[in-house]
Amino acid sequence: MTKYIGKVWLVGDDIDTDLIIAARYLNDASEENMKKHCLEDVIPNFIDKVQKGDILVAGKNFGCGSSREHAPFAIKAAGISCVVAKSFARIFYRNAINIGLPIVIAPEAVEGISTGDNIEVDVKQGFIYNSTTGQEFETETFPPFIQEIIEAGNLLNYVRNRVKSDG
């Protein structure tokens, strides 16, 4: 899938991995536990409010801090379909791609989006349409190699295909 339509949750700059999923919960990596505490220190009771398919929109340097894959995993587990940000911290960026959480870098678009807006994100064509305001923005697209990982679903599928074809 390369197109996501959903309601927006907007968060600020430098949202770190401890805010996405606090280290105190990392002694249990289960989907249930990750989901339950996702973003709880940023948006109180987030998990009770978020709906499947919603889109998370963030300022700059989203996901800075630790390498924990639990962070994109928690966001995915919470039902978020796609994350749009002005920029991503690099390990978060890799992790999201590797686990198959769609992410988009779109500094201009973020300025024109508010919580509650309905937006449409096309990862492949590289645009975001805000149907609440009627604005449309261009976004960056991924280089071909990363596109291949995304098309395989995640890094493991991609590696598995390669391990197999190597015999």
H/E stretch holding 62 = none
Nearer to other proteins, 10 or 156 (CB): 156
Position 102 contacts other proteins (CB under 8 A)? no
H/E stretch holding 104 = strand 103-105
Position 70 contacts other proteins (CB under 8 A)? yes
State the residue for tokens 């630790």: 66
Cβ pair 55, 119 in contact under 8 A: yes
Nearer to other proteins, 3 or 23 (CB): 23
Q: How far apart are CA 41 and CA 45, in angstroms?
A: 9
In the region spanning residues 2 to 31, those forming contacts with other proteins, defined by CB under 8 A, are 14, 16, 18-19, 22-24, 26-29
Task: Please state the length of the chain.
Answer: 167
The SS3 assignment for 8 reads: strand
Nearer to other proteins, 3 or 90 (CB): 90
User: Shortest distance, CB of residue 108 to other proteins, whole angstroms?
Assistant: 18
Nearer to other proteins, 21 or 113 (CB): 21
Closest to 12 measured CA to CA, from 96, 92, 114: 114
Instruction: Give the binding site for other proteins (CB under 8 A).
Output: 14, 16, 18-19, 22-24, 26-29, 41, 60-61, 64-70, 87, 89-91, 94-95, 98-99, 143, 145-146, 154-156, 159-160, 162-163
